[in-house]
A and B are shown apart, each in its own frame.
Chain A
Amino acid sequence: MNAPPDRSTRVLAVRGLTKRYGDAVVFSHVDLDVARGEFVAVVGESGVGKSTLLNCIAALDSIDAGSVRILDVDVTSLDEAAQARLRRERLGFVFQAFHVLPHLTVADNVALPLLLQRRPDAARTREVLAAVGLDGFDERLPQTLSGGQLQRVAIARALVHRPPLILADEPTGNLDPRTAERVLAVLHEQIRREGAACVLVTHSAAAAARADRVVTLTASGIRS
């Protein structure tokens, strides 16, 4: 077990974030701080821009005002290559629809972030797979896995390179309640274990209940 995270370190700092599509304002004046090891759930009505917020944090979508800092690095000031490097090294993603590559084995899917950083580590890959309950699944192809197992592969992939911040977008949206509960438990446990921070976008009250803090995104900002 790793040492408890130092919650005084701020991993994510969002200030005055505004996003528009043309004249339509998706959200504005969003402020959000996430400390190391903190698990924050973002809830809100459908269409309020929860996923867009994650994309803006990850520099995958442009912003119209404000700033996003990850470990004191102003994401919006970076060029495309540096933004990609930041995602590669400091972020982990978990999606609603799993998004595992069908032509890679489970181990290769999980190891992808390590390979991107040119530091393959089979032992670490096996360790993370075992941690999410997929010990012995290394050479299996995604087609042979259930939805819950696929999401655990995605969680292992998000954690394998020890990113300080995990962005999870409705990770249980495609799962039945029982499987969703098990997957959430794995996600929560492993994030705690790795000492990472997590921003979880969800509609699920059960998922939000596991968070250290729940914030609500509205068109005019974030309410705690």
Chain B
Amino acid sequence: MIAWLRQLSWPELRHHPWRAGAAFIAVLLGVALAFSVHLINQSALGEFSAAVRSINGEPDFELRGPAAGFDEALYARVAAHPRVAVASPIVEIETAVLDPQGRRIALRVLGVDALVAGTLAPALLPRVATGQGRYAVIDPATIFLNPQAQQRLGATGKTTLQTKTPRGPVDWRIGGGITAPGPPLAVVDIAGAQAAFDRLGRLHRIDVRLVRGADRAAVLRELALPAGVRAADPDEAAQRVSNVSRAYRVNLTVLALVALFTGAFLVFSILSLSVAQRQPQLALLGVLGLSARERLRLVLVEAALLGTVGSAAGLAVGTALAALALRLLGGDLGGGYFAGVSPELQFSPVAALVYGALGVAAAVVGGWLPARAAGRIAPAQGLKGLASTSDDTPMTALGPALLVTGVALALLPPITDIPLAAYGSVACLLLGGIACVPGAIGLALRGVRAPRHPLALLAVERARRQRNTATIAVAGVVASLSLAVALTVMVGSFRESVLAWLDTVLPADLYVRSGSGGPGSEPATLPAELAARAAAIDGVTRVESQRVTQLQLDPTKPTVALIARTLDDPAARLPLVGTLATLPPGRTAAYVSEAMVDLYDARPGTDLVLPLPDGTRAPVHVRGVWRDYARQHGAVVLTSADYQRLTGDLRSTDIALWLRAGTEVDAVRTALRRTAGELGFDGALLEFAEPGAIRTASLRIFDRSFAVTYWLQAVAIGIGLFGIGASFSAQVLARRKEFGLLAHLGFTRRQVLGIVGAECAVWTAAGALLGLLLGLAVSVVLVKVVNPQSFHWTMDLSVPWGRLALLCAAVLIAGTATGWLAARGAASRQLALAVKEDW
């Protein structure tokens, strides 16, 4: 085989280096993109998990309570248990600090007992700065910052830090640092934290290490944990982040593989045309004794070598890309799961092998049909130049079969929460659609009489007799355009649905909430009287308050938001999906987000038990399902009246205000801050938002999150256009005898190029039309299956026809121009000489 490669393949490569170069670049780009996305996500997840582990330390288990915490009396019981070696009480606070530029930075503050915390979590052990005195670690007014907090807050060289709390700002003395990695984090003495953040007598968790040989179950049984407190594994948080970000990571990787998928088509185009051009050579070898199987193997080995070299370069480029991205963007590619994490690149040889193998597999798959065509060349016909230049095996059954399989796969449920069947469906739809092209052209041309115009005759008859060859030329464009169309429709649908959703969920003119509290944490409450006092402010016509709290329905899943709000007309005030179920008498109505249906099977008409913040459990009846793009892991809405009846909690976390037309929003803001101050709440902590600003910010975040898809579309289309250029120039080379004959018959070079240009335009248009249709079909799978299965929310299919028309027109123009230019270059040789080339 090496001898054949040296004798046959190497001269071909040297003669057409750009052609092999195109396939090499396609594989390289595909592997590089997918591998870099994988490395970035893995590095971010690894860093995040390491940070969580170092903060949580190495206890045997953690005792965790509801978001509001639990009575610290439990600590005394736990610490006194004879089988408990170490018990470390912790208060967890999400707060905010202003950086030197006045920007609000989220800061997680852990209140710890420094004398025991270091035993279980050395990364939390305060390291007292020089000159701070050895008792600083138990000083309730001293704070210790981790490296990222020091850097982002500009704390280096400073001696004090001010945090915001509802009762006003709290000043801390910076006593030194802690080594814990990850996002901004601070450690203070537990008593100081309880006092400063109004958590006196409350704890959020107790880390426990048992004496050697102790039975964990028995200890827990003997401790008789109060309601709402449970034992959790230390790596639960890291595992949860891994789980919740998995769908996002997989989706991003699959998107990145789009380029490799398109690259396989380019390999297919290039090798097909290479085989077409070498047909006499292969036929001669057939005559000389190279068997069909050996010819097939020769082309397959060429494809594998191309894939191997491309993959190796792709892995190197991907690693460099990932290192660059981690340096410039951190670990977050737009999903927000790893915001604030600054990971080091974690190279994985196993992943490199997997992605390298994917690159080789893509090249081999792309080379399979050309290899089969090489094997099937009839030597005698090939020597005369009359053998088919492509595998003309009818694929009439394969295409429809793949399409049907694609539809069937789209109906299957996710596998381990990943829409694997739906991805298979997308692949089947694309391959099936392309495989249907020759048959569809045959059907379309069946009733078409041979035109009398010579150019039309040549084009139509070529399409009729050699439709597989033309399919090869447009396969890349079909694949890339269909994926671009699908992504455009999916992103457009999502954007439109988010806009419609924002219109429903933001009916008021001004929204107010407490500025303390971080994402996913228990938000700080507003004074109970603030809503009533706000209604009295001049210009305010209506006020609604809302209470948001976090519930842990399942320890293996993230918390669920419980929203208690005014809900006089659920159908009008909630973006409902489907109809409302009838509420049985005496039951409490709950309205759940779509994620609750997927994650907790909370369907309308069923009952759900809510573990309320006070530790009690409340059965509720699910009346309806609503769309929630703000919380991926689930939300439950109760009416404020029901929530207050169940919990006795009258506090609120958010207030919505409707204003009289012409009211100065700034004046209302000022009045509310003043009113909050009068109620003992630091008015500076109030955060205001207007629907327009929320909308703008939401769309900015949305566009940033999906920016990567636009780049991937551009890469895919670039590869597709490259494929057209390569295919058509190679076709012109393969057809040079035909064009030489036409020159003898009286065609000018311009006319010959006219034929190529017209054929290129017609085939690109056909490819664009097919790509559009397939893209729309794939977009339905993405919108209706992949997204709900990945993120647990649905969206309305919205087709941005204008953008799609522009996309198709751009591909048509670029494809025609690329093909024509490539053909022009290829046809620059004297056409007349072509007929002299002997087979």
B464 smallest CB distance to A (angstroms)? 7
Taken together as a complex, chains A and B put the C-alpha atoms of A88 and B750 apart, in Å, by: 15
- In the complex formed, the residue of B with least CB distance to A93 is B744
> What 1/0 flags go to B441-475 for Cβ under 8 Å of A?
00000000010111001100110111000000000
A221 at the interface (CB under 8 A from B): no
A194 at the interface (CB under 8 A from B): no
A171 smallest CB distance to B (angstroms)? 13
B385 with A112: CB separation less than 8 A: no
- Which of A36-44, A63-71, A140-148, A203-211 is found at the contact surface with chain B? A140-148
B744 with A87: CB separation less than 8 A: yes
Report chain A residues within 8 Å CB of B838. 96-97
> What 1/0 flags go to A43-81 for Cβ under 8 Å of B?
000000001000100101100000000000000000011
B381 at the interface (CB under 8 A from A): yes
A124 at the interface (CB under 8 A from B): no
B830 with A116: CB separation less than 8 A: no
A4 at the interface (CB under 8 A from B): no
Known: A51-B836, A103-B462, A115-B453. A58 touches B744 (CB 8 A): yes
A interface bracket (residues with beta carbon within 8 Å of B): 35 or more
A108 with B457: CB separation less than 8 A: yes
- Which of B39-47, B176-184, B356-364, B734-742 is found at the contact surface with chain A? B734-742
A88 with B746: CB separation less than 8 A: yes
Interface-central residue, B386, B387, B749, by most chain A CB under 10 Å: B386
Within B783-838, the residues touching A (CB, 8 Å) are 830-832, 835-836, 838
Known: A108-B457, A147-B384. A113 touches B737 (CB 8 A): no
Taken together as a complex, chains A and B put the C-alpha atoms of A99 and B745 apart, in Å, by: 11
Contacting residue for A84 out of B386, B450, B464, B751, CB 8 A:
B751
Contacting residue for B744 out of A60, A101, A103, A108, CB 8 A:
A60
Taken together as a complex, chains A and B put the C-alpha atoms of A142 and B381 apart, in Å, by: 10
A27 at the interface (CB under 8 A from B): no
A103 with B741: CB separation less than 8 A: no
B748 with A61: CB separation less than 8 A: no
B238 at the interface (CB under 8 A from A): no
Taken together as a complex, chains A and B put the C-alpha atoms of A102 and B279 apart, in Å, by: 14
- In the complex formed, the residue of B with least CB distance to A142 is B386
B interface bracket (residues with beta carbon within 8 Å of A): 35 or more
B450 with A103: CB separation less than 8 A: no
Report chain B residues within 8 Å CB of A86. 746
Taken together as a complex, chains A and B put the C-alpha atoms of A31 and B838 apart, in Å, by: 29
B748 with A60: CB separation less than 8 A: no
B745 with A108: CB separation less than 8 A: no
B745 with A113: CB separation less than 8 A: yes
A127 at the interface (CB under 8 A from B): no
A182 at the interface (CB under 8 A from B): no
Interface-central residue, A55, A84, A86, A88, by most chain B CB under 10 Å: A84
A130 at the interface (CB under 8 A from B): no
B4 smallest CB distance to A (angstroms)? 27
Report chain B residues within 8 Å CB of A101. 458, 461, 738, 741
Taken together as a complex, chains A and B put the C-alpha atoms of A84 and B738 apart, in Å, by: 16
A102 with B746: CB separation less than 8 A: no
B772 smallest CB distance to A (angstroms)? 28
A185 at the interface (CB under 8 A from B): no
A55 with B746: CB separation less than 8 A: no
Interface-central residue, B384, B388, B450, B453, by most chain A CB under 10 Å: B384
A104 at the interface (CB under 8 A from B): yes
A115 with B457: CB separation less than 8 A: yes
A143 with B746: CB separation less than 8 A: no
A136 at the interface (CB under 8 A from B): no
A164 smallest CB distance to B (angstroms)? 14
Known: A61-B830, A80-B749, A116-B746. A103 touches B453 (CB 8 A): no
- In the complex formed, the residue of A with least CB distance to B838 is A97
A60 with B743: CB separation less than 8 A: yes
Contacting residue for A116 out of B384, B388, B745, B839, CB 8 A:
B745
- In the complex formed, the residue of A with least CB distance to B456 is A115
Report chain A residues within 8 Å CB of B744. 58, 60, 87, 91, 93, 95
B205 smallest CB distance to A (angstroms)? 76
Report chain A residues within 8 Å CB of B749. 80
B584 smallest CB distance to A (angstroms)? 73
Report chain B residues within 8 Å CB of A181. none
Report chain B residues within 8 Å CB of A115. 452-454, 457
B711 at the interface (CB under 8 A from A): no
Known: A61-B830, A141-B465. A120 touches B746 (CB 8 A): no
B747 at the interface (CB under 8 A from A): yes
- In the complex formed, the residue of A with least CB distance to B466 is A103
Report chain A residues within 8 Å CB of B746. 84-89, 91, 113, 116
Known: A58-B744, A88-B745, A116-B745. A102 touches B454 (CB 8 A): no
B275 smallest CB distance to A (angstroms)? 16
B454 with A112: CB separation less than 8 A: yes
Taken together as a complex, chains A and B put the C-alpha atoms of A51 and B450 apart, in Å, by: 34
Taken together as a complex, chains A and B put the C-alpha atoms of A70 and B741 apart, in Å, by: 20
Within B724-775, the residues touching A (CB, 8 Å) are 737-738, 740-741, 743-751
A80 with B465: CB separation less than 8 A: no
Report chain B residues within 8 Å CB of A102. 385-386, 465-466
B833 smallest CB distance to A (angstroms)? 8
Known: A115-B452, A141-B465, A143-B386. A95 touches B457 (CB 8 A): no
Known: A84-B746, A97-B839. A143 touches B457 (CB 8 A): no
> What 1/0 flags go to B149-192 for Cβ under 8 Å of A?
00000000000000000000000000000000000000000000
Within B681-735, the residues touching A (CB, 8 Å) are none
- In the complex formed, the residue of A with least CB distance to B378 is A143
Taken together as a complex, chains A and B put the C-alpha atoms of A50 and B831 apart, in Å, by: 18
B385 with A97: CB separation less than 8 A: yes
Report chain B residues within 8 Å CB of A112. 454, 457, 745
> What 1/0 flags go to A158-182 for Cβ under 8 Å of B?
0000000000000000000000000
Taken together as a complex, chains A and B put the C-alpha atoms of A98 and B385 apart, in Å, by: 10
- In the complex formed, the residue of B with least CB distance to A102 is B386
Known: A112-B745, A120-B452. A99 touches B386 (CB 8 A): no
- In the complex formed, the residue of A with least CB distance to B465 is A103
A108-B450, A115-B454, A142-B386 given; 17 more Cβ-contact pairs under 8 Å: A58-B744, A58-B832, A60-B744, A84-B751, A85-B746, A87-B745, A91-B746, A93-B744, A98-B384, A99-B740, A101-B461, A104-B457, A104-B465, A115-B452, A115-B457, A141-B465, A143-B388
Closest 3 CB pairs of A and B: A88-B746, A60-B832, A103-B465
Question: Could you list 5 A-B pairs, sorted by A, with CB under 8 Å?
Answer: A60-B831, A87-B745, A97-B839, A101-B461, A103-B464
Q: Hey, which bits of chain A sit against chain B, CB under 8 A?
A: 51, 55, 58, 60-61, 80-81, 84-89, 91, 93, 95-99, 101-105, 108, 112-113, 115-116, 120, 141-143, 147, 150
